Amino acid sequence: MKLKDKIRYLREVEGNLRGLNRAMTQQELVGAIQQQNGTGKKKASKATISQSYLSQIESGARPHLTNTTRLLLAKFFQVHPGYLVDDPEGYHSELISDLRTAEDKLDLWLVGGAERFRRDPALCQALLALANHSDSRRCFLLIESILETPALLDRLFHVLRPDESSVAAATQTLPSKAGKRSTK
Task: Provide the CATH number for the domain around residue 17.
Answer: 1.10.260
Write the CB contacts of 78 (distance below 8 Å, at least 6 apart in sequence): none
55 and 7 fall within a common domain: yes
Distance CA 147, CA 153 (A): 6
pLDDT at 32: 92
pLDDT at 99: 47
What is the secondary structure of 22-90 as a DSSP string?
A: SPPPHHHHHHHHHHHHT-SSS--SS----HHHHHHHHHTSS-S--HHHHHHHHHHHT--GGGSSPPPTT
8 and 67 fall within a common domain: yes
67 and 125 fall within a common domain: no
7 and 76 fall within a common domain: yes
Where among 56, 83, 110 does a domain terminate?
83
Where among 49, 83, 117 does a domain terminate?
83
Residue pair 124/117 in contact (Cβ under 8 Å)? The answer is yes
pLDDT at 27: 93
77 and 13 fall within a common domain: yes
Q: Is 86 exposed, middle or buried (0-12, 13-18, 19+ CB in 10 A)?
A: middle
65 and 109 fall within a common domain: no
> Which long-range contacts does 136-139 make (Cβ < 8 Å, 24+ apart)?
136/103, 136/106, 136/107, 136/110, 137/99, 137/102, 137/103, 137/106
Domain that holds residue 109: 98-171
pLDDT at 91: 60
Q: Name the domain count of the chain.
A: 2
Where among 26, 50, 83 does a domain terminate?
83
From first to last of its 184 residues, the chain has per-residue pLDDT tens of 788 888 988 998 888 888 888 889 999 999 999 888 876 555 544 778 899 999 998 888 888 888 898 999 999 988 888 888 887 776 655 544 444 566 678 888 888 888 888 888 888 888 888 888 888 888 888 888 888 988 898 888 888 888 775 555 555 544 544 444 444 4
On whether the pTM is more than 0.85, the answer is no
pLDDT at 84: 87
Residue 31 lies in a domain: yes
Amino acid 41 reads K
Distance CA 16, CA 20 (A): 5
Distance CA 39, CA 37 (A): 5
Q: Is 93 exposed, middle or buried (0-12, 13-18, 19+ CB in 10 A)?
A: exposed
